[in-house]
Structure 1
């Protein structure tokens, strides 16, 4: 089934209910490396029920399974990559919560026959009781096999990091078992666990979830410029550019300009960037 444009823009999925507990919040913190040093009093509140805090990017897994499926859109799931992820935080994400998830196809861009398609899907999470919006998630996929359907070209502009040395550089190790832990947050794709399947897909072994790297980048922003206060992150977006293998040492370069933080994530041992065009918008920055 091919993408039917512009009918694809009418696809919606509304009114799905999701809930989480403090256990899910702590599991997510552990899965993105919070609490690696259990004596670090700055990170302990993200993995311990006393004074528990929620990492803002937890919103990406709080309603895992919500959204318009590739099959409904008309693309080949096996040839579709997670290209970008963006988050707007309307209210701090609670440590326990129940939400209504409303999803739609936000935009579809045609790169041309044989060049693929870019698909943006949006999910808004609203508190079940108050109906107030907590977060807006925008997930962008690159469907490599599905261009040439007659849609508009992709004319979006990407975030550009400043042309100067980073203001802060933070190194974050990943663990060899980190993908096995992170998959308990929702994404159980065997590509992140099964060595044989990963090799069949062209990788040397299971890869770390892109959204795990996304969460670790948020952890770096919290550390560098927020004094670990999650309420200071209002927006957060990235572009995924290469896979991370569990055990890689991540290097996060960060630049600050007033309320904006720009960042890139690399693996120096392999001389690659795994996240480009990263941007966070902060509140009450000093």
Structure 2
């Protein structure tokens, strides 16, 4: 069973998203609405999985759209958890962190949904007891209902810290993407700063964990931590900039597993390898690993890009 909620965005939303994940001044196609090739950065659907109905414009003015901050504790429509024996506990959303994200892009997004009918369909694929916590695997499909077109699919594995041990199934093992043994083909560096998480949360993910130290301290972190998706999206930007000539339309798939928290101000080192497949000449596969110092923060990274013909 799935739930479907309306979702919308304006040009200002996609501009903010691109800026918050590190797009550069020489990539104005993501940062300037009057650029002749203005486009949505292709990983934007991942933010629409958070509070999708609250992305609805509140009020249209001549030059702007007012959208208010939404309390993280607000109750939202959620697909029912499948009936399980034994049943999982009531999960506390204040103690959830990212485990894995896999994005498949079917079509580039329009720069605005004004006059269109987009909805996010969400369903629960599985709920698994990992002992130290519970994993909820959900599927998010972004659909234009008027034409019946699915633009993207996001598989999300969310880990509820300290909420395991209820006797459920551990679930299928997720196979890691293996990194090549040779030196990386390209190494990119992305810088965060102490305000990076405060900027990214304006996209719609207002979890206090990324703004004030108390929730992180209660979960065993040193304080404020970055949204896992900041590093995830920065890696996507590095891959597309390095291997796709900063063309958003080149991205087909993007995935990575979250291995350790990133702190505001951390500098990311992204190691990337090209795995060419002679049977798939029109596509480029890039594998990547993201580190802060010697600590791996994103692993099992893989991207599939369309090769420019």
Q: Same fold per TM (> 0.5)?
A: yes
Report the equivalent of 2:287. 262
Contact 1:70-1:76 at 8 Å conserved across structures: no
1:168 aligns with 2:181: no
Report the equivalent of 2:232. 214
**Residue pairs, 1:69-88, within 5 angstroms:** 69=78, 74-88=90-104
Report the equivalent of 1:7. none
**Residue pairs, 1:46-85, within 5 angstroms:** 46-51=30-35, 52-66=38-52, 69=78, 74-85=90-101
Report the equivalent of 1:279. 302
Contact 1:28-1:185 at 8 Å conserved across structures: yes
Contact 1:254-1:262 at 8 Å conserved across structures: yes
**Residue pairs, 1:1-286, within 5 angstroms:** 11-14=1-4, 16-35=5-24, 38=25, 40=26, 43-51=27-35, 52-66=38-52, 69=78, 74-97=90-113, 98-111=117-130, 114-143=131-160, 144-151=162-169, 153-258=171-276, 259-268=284-293, 271-284=294-307
Distance in 1, matches of 2:210 and 2:170, equals: 34
Change (3 A) 1:152 1:62: closer
* Alpha-carbon offset, residue 108 of structure 1: 2.9
Distance in 1, matches of 2:164 and 2:220, equals: 21
* Alpha-carbon offset, residue 222 of structure 1: 0.9
Deviation sequence 1:48-95 (CA, Å, 0-9, x none): 112322111111113422587599574343443310011000101221
Change (3 A) 1:252 1:152: closer
Change (3 A) 1:201 1:147: closer
The gaps in structure 2 that reach 5 residues or longer are 53-75, 83-89, 277-283
Contact 1:12-1:68 at 8 Å conserved across structures: no
Extract structure 1 runs of 4+ deviating beyond 6 A: none
What value does the CA root-mean-square deviation take over the aligned residues?
2.2
Contact 1:191-1:206 at 8 Å conserved across structures: yes
TM-score by length of 1: 0.85
Number of equivalent positions:
266
Deviation sequence 1:178-234 (CA, Å, 0-9, x none): 111100001101111113443344333311111111111110011110000111110
The gaps in structure 1 that reach 5 residues or longer are 1-10
